């Protein structure tokens, strides 16, 4: 059984079915912690490839739609689950409204 067998089928959204996941988590809440997490994730993606799964707050959705590297976005009650490239993470980290969802 694949590691992601219990997850929804992502192939229609991101054009492939993930076989593994790499989670990058910072148990902190300062701006620098969020920036380091985004840049570390983007650097890991440069090496191993893949797509980032990032959750965004509702207020950030208009900005997210304009950033390079956006692959797909699924609306949710309080925001969106977004899939994108390392370029998306770097562009979001450079934006003045940047913040990762806890």
Q: Which of residues 98 and 79 earns the better pLDDT score?
A: 98
Residues 50-68: tens digit of each pLDDT: 888 888 888 888 898 899 9
Whether pTM > 0.85 for this model: the answer is no
Contact between 50 and 18 under an 8 Å Cβ cutoff? The reply is yes
Q: How far apart are CA 73 and CA 16, in angstroms?
A: 15
Which has the minimum average pLDDT: 5-14, 37-46, 73-82, 86-95? 5-14
Say how many CA atoms lie within 13 Å of 67 toward its Cβ. Answer: 27
């Amino acid at each position: 059984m694949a590691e992601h067998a219990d997850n929804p089928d992502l192939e229609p959204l991101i054009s492939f079915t993930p076989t593994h996941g790499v989670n990058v988590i910072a148990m902190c809440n300062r701006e620098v912690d969020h920036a380091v997490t985004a840049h570390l994730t983007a650097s890991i993606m440069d090496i191993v490839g893949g797509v980032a799964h990032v959750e965004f707050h509702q207020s950030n959705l208009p900005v997210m739609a304009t950033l390079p590297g956006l692959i797909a976005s699924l609306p949710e009650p309080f925001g969106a689950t977004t899939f994108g490239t390392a370029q998306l993470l770097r562009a979001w980290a450079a934006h003045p409204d940047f913040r990762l969802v806890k």
